[in-house]
Amino acid sequence: MKTIGVVTTGGDAPGMNAAIRAVTRIANWKGLCVLGFERGYEGLITGTFRQMTPRNVGGIIQLGGTILHTARCPEFKTLEGQKKAAKNLHDHNVEGLVVIGGDGSFKGAYELSKICSTQMVGIPATIDNDVYGTDETIGFDTAVNTAVAEIDKIRDTAISHERVFIVEVMGRERGFLASTVGITVGAEIIIAPESKCNLDEIVSIIKQNWRKGKRAGIIVAAEGCGKVTEIAKTIEKNTSAEVRLTILGYVQRGGSPTARSRLLASLFAEKAVEILCESQGNRLVGLENGKITSIPLEESCRKSKPIDTSLLKVNEMLSI
């Protein structure tokens, strides 16, 4: 293998730049030339790339976002688009491609792999942590800490005004972010899409807390639950609590990556380059049981990552 490509696709996640840097430098160390495709799959289709060197990835390990940019690319979902991408990879002798992104990105890479001799290796980077084949994605730890820092601030107002705050965190249809954030901010209640959201039970907990003298409270809800306004109204109607609602929003996607997100990025990149150098086929890099591993890309696309609901149970004990 002489030339590889690297691309960031899907929603940006903190640590993508650390991964770009690590892929570039490790590949370079091993004698490979690295091309950085811009704006996600759009860059593959249009053939827009820049040469990546150890120097032009200097000073980016600590930056959020992605210097290669990312974009949604409807054209890549068509066979037409994929063929253009395959041709560009072929024309520039790109024998391996490192795809840094999430769930949807890997589905795209897998489709592309069917019509293209370039070997695909996925590096999971998304704040949602919803990629099968890894216990943790790049950016997840950063997003969790960002949300925790925000809610630590909101708690000041919650306690001062003795109010209940419902805080909606990201995570799309999954509760990975909500459950980890919830337990680490000391939330009274965590609402994840994977567990039923029982309004009666929520009302009952708020009432109990009131009796215990806990007038302030934090409820962490995943955006996938989709009914925070209804929950707020139900609590206000049925209890003495004053309720406020906050949607954390896009701040969770940015910011300087935590040490852990940077470390994962570096170790995933090393593994990805190794897989390419050893021609192991289309694979997804991951962290499983504390070790850096990989599984077939196809397997990751086919399966859905299960959530560990035991956190929710532990939180019930922690929030008494």
Q: Which residues are catalytic?
A: 128
CB of 319 to its own copies, least distance (A): 8
User: How many residues can be counted in the chain?
Assistant: 320
User: What are the structure tokens assigned to 152, written together?
Assistant: 């630590």
How far, in Å, CA of 128 to CA of 126, rounded? 5
Task: Using DSSP, state whether 33 is helix, strand or coil.
Answer: strand
Comparison of 173 and 288: residue with beta carbon closer to its own copies = 288
Strand pairing of 189-191 and 33-37?
unpaired
CA angle 86, 52, 37 (to 5 degrees): 30
> 122 or 182, CB closer to its own copies?
182
Candidates 304, 286, 287, 288; CA nearest to 296 is 286
Rank residues 261 and 282 by Cβ distance to its own copies and give the closer one: 261
Which C-beta is closer to its own copies: that of 33 or that of 183? 183
Torsion angles phi and psi, residue 225, rounded to 5: -70, -35
Contact (CB, 8 A) for 85 and 116: yes
Q: Cα angle at 85 between 80 and 89, to 5 degrees?
A: 150
Euclidean distance between CA atoms 18 and 247, whole angstroms = 28
Least spacing, CB of residue 72 vs its own copies, in Å: 8
Least CB distance to its own copies at residue 103 (A): 17
Smallest distance from the beta carbon of 282 to its own copies, in angstroms?
24
Nearest to its own copies of 1, 16 (CB atom): 16
| Shortest spacing between CB 86 and its own copies, in angstroms | 25
> Rounded to 5 degrees, what are φ and ψ at 99?
-105, 115
DSSP codes joined into one string, 184-229: HHT-SEEE-TTS---HHHHHHHHHHHHHHT---EEEEEEGGG--HH
Q: What type of residue is 247?
A: I
* Rounded distance between C-alpha atoms, residue 287 and residue 27, angstroms: 21
- The residue (of 109 and 147) whose beta carbon lies closer to its own copies is 147
Helix (H) or strand (E) holding 4: strand 3-8
CB of 21 vs its own copies, minimal distance in Å: 7
Pairing status of strand 283-288 against strand 291-296:
antiparallel
